[in-house]
Structure 1
């Protein structure tokens, strides 16, 4: 039996294999027939893949069976590591939530009432928008509204 590897270790294998293969995250998603945001999150350890999906990725990236096994396991979702949190891209999202979080909360409550946006029934979309002053990153969080039941 091959040794077990964690989802975090599998993610590192995927990142390196994808780079070496010269395949984009979008190309992998296209082969899987899913959104690039979902497949990238799954390949980085945040979602489980089906056996069929993992097999497609194994073929595309020449991954070991241990990596394919890890891709299919249910993840533990929780806090990011200190390395992740100190990454400038991730930190800027934290910064945006620190600055705009109270505004987002107030506007959600004003528009929808007392409740939250689901991160389980959720979609993420990342797009590039051309701008004369430099291209813009457009990130859309699309989550179901869940009202508090009293």
Structure 2
């Protein structure tokens, strides 16, 4: 009888395991951010496969979430970024797309007017999400803070 080795996990499979462990342990994303001294937003993105984690960070998060060794190892793999890893039918993601469809051109025009010809970086970037209480219904404030990178002539 031969033993078939279990293939290593990838980052997307690790993200699924993280979500299950988060539900099982009852930890909040903020708890996990504090475990590695990073922002809630960055840590969440990293655990969902969008940012690299060091061996130390993966081990700390694995311990907090009580993850098996193969999942912790997969958290150290390179990130998997791109449209194919985002469920655009998820209602919040869909509405964010709608916001960009409605206001994307406006944002582009206002950035160009204020900064010149260039882009807003998603590499040198920070995000913050917070609740603002409002008597008509609480508000979600999402701050996208990216470095302006001008196009250059050569």
* Aligned counterpart for 2:88 among listed residues 85, 88, 107: 85
Pairwise CA distance, 1:3:
3.0
- Distance (Å, rounded) in 1 between the aligned partners of 2:65 and 2:152: 46
Measured against aligned partners, the alpha-carbon deviations of 1:3-57 in whole angstroms (never above 9, x if no partner) come to 3111111000000101110100011111111100000000000011011111111
**Quick check: 1:51 aligned with 2:51?**
no
1:79 positional shift: 1.2
Q: TM-score, normalised by structure 2?
A: 0.93
Find the residue that maps to 1:46 and give its secondary structure.
coil
Aligned-pair distance for 1:69? 1.2
Alignment of 1:28-67 (within 5 A): 28-67=32-71
1:103 aligns with 2:106: yes
Report how many aligned residue pairs link the two structures: 149
Aligned partner of residue 147 in structure 2, secondary structure: strand
Stretches of structure 1 that go unaligned for 5 or more consecutive residues are none
Partner of 2:18: 14
Find the aligned partners of 2:65 and 2:80 in 1 and give their Cα distance.
24
CA shift for structure 1 position 60: 0.8
Q: Whose Rg is larger?
A: 2
Q: Which runs of 4+ in 1 moved over 4 A?
A: none
- Structure 1 vs Structure 2 CA RMSD: 1.2
| Alpha-carbon spacing, 1:76–1:124, altered in 2? closer, same or farther (3 Å) | same
Q: In the alignment, is the contact (CA less than 8 A) between 2:12 and 2:80 conserved in 1?
A: no
Q: Secondary structure, in 3 states, of the residue corresponding to 1:73?
A: coil
Which whole-Å CA distance do the structure 1 matches of 2:140 and 2:84 have between them? 22
1:4 aligned residue (4, 8, 18): 8
Deviations 1:100-127 (A, max 9, x none): 0000000000000000000000001001
Provide the residue aligned with 1:116 in structure 2: 119
